[in-house]
Chains A and B, each alone.
Chain A
């Protein structure tokens, strides 16, 4: 079955530390890839997405992600985190099948940034 794995369930960092959140998916065909973020008390928001082209994708608030097809990975990075980045981060995949964009989510990574 198609699935998405996020390696860390909880991450604690100090401000200015670098961040990398892992994401791997199991699907051999073409995929669209997404990272969504949920800030405390808010709804899921799109952080960035990859459909095709340059495998290094830049999103909002200084986040970027790199698609490595050979590793089935789409890791999220930020060089220097801020307290306001405290949130839950979800990796999601849309496998190309039948033309309908069904999202398959990972379990999420809860990030806490301490000042």
Chain B
């Protein structure tokens, strides 16, 4: 089966610019996650969707980050405006049960 797809793979922007990431989960997976992985750290959950509803966004910096999952399939994560400390890999994962499957990630560099 096809895995979790993410795009773009790499993005370089200047601070205060905006950026968006896209994720297509494994077909049939109801749960979708966005994680932020800063260099030298493990992934940290930003937001979790169950179908098209948010079930956990407690660690999402809502003043600058937003995410949506229209129609309960694809999802986009947006940062506006970006800060230097947002430089990280943004991982998307999906799950149809107890195990999460990860995409390749988008490496964001904010200059």
A residues contacting B by CB (< 8 A) are: 4, 32, 34, 36, 42-46, 49, 51, 90, 92, 94, 100-108
Residue among B33, B41, B91, B99 making CB contact with A46, cutoff 8 Å: B99
- CA of A51 to CA of B98, assembled, Å: 9
- B101 and A46 contacting across the interface, CB-CB below 8 Å: yes
Interface residues of B in 1-58 (CB under 8 A from A): 3-4, 31, 33, 40-45, 48, 50, 55-56
- B102 and A105 contacting across the interface, CB-CB below 8 Å: no
Q: Which residues of B contact A34 (CB under 8 A)?
A: 99
Tally of B interface residues using CB under 8 Å: 25
- CA of A53 to CA of B83, assembled, Å: 46
- A105 and B99 contacting across the interface, CB-CB below 8 Å: no
Q: Which residues of B contact A92 (CB under 8 A)?
A: 42
- B55 and A100 contacting across the interface, CB-CB below 8 Å: yes
Q: Which residues of B contact A49 (CB under 8 A)?
A: 98-99
Q: Which residues of B contact A32 (CB under 8 A)?
A: 98
- B50 and A100 contacting across the interface, CB-CB below 8 Å: yes
In the complex, what's the smallest C-beta–C-beta distance from A42 to chain B, in angstroms?
Answer: 8
A–B pairs, 16, beta carbons within 8 Å? A4-B42, A32-B98, A43-B91, A43-B103, A44-B43, A92-B42, A100-B31, A100-B55, A101-B31, A103-B33, A103-B43, A103-B45, A103-B93, A105-B42, A105-B43, A107-B41
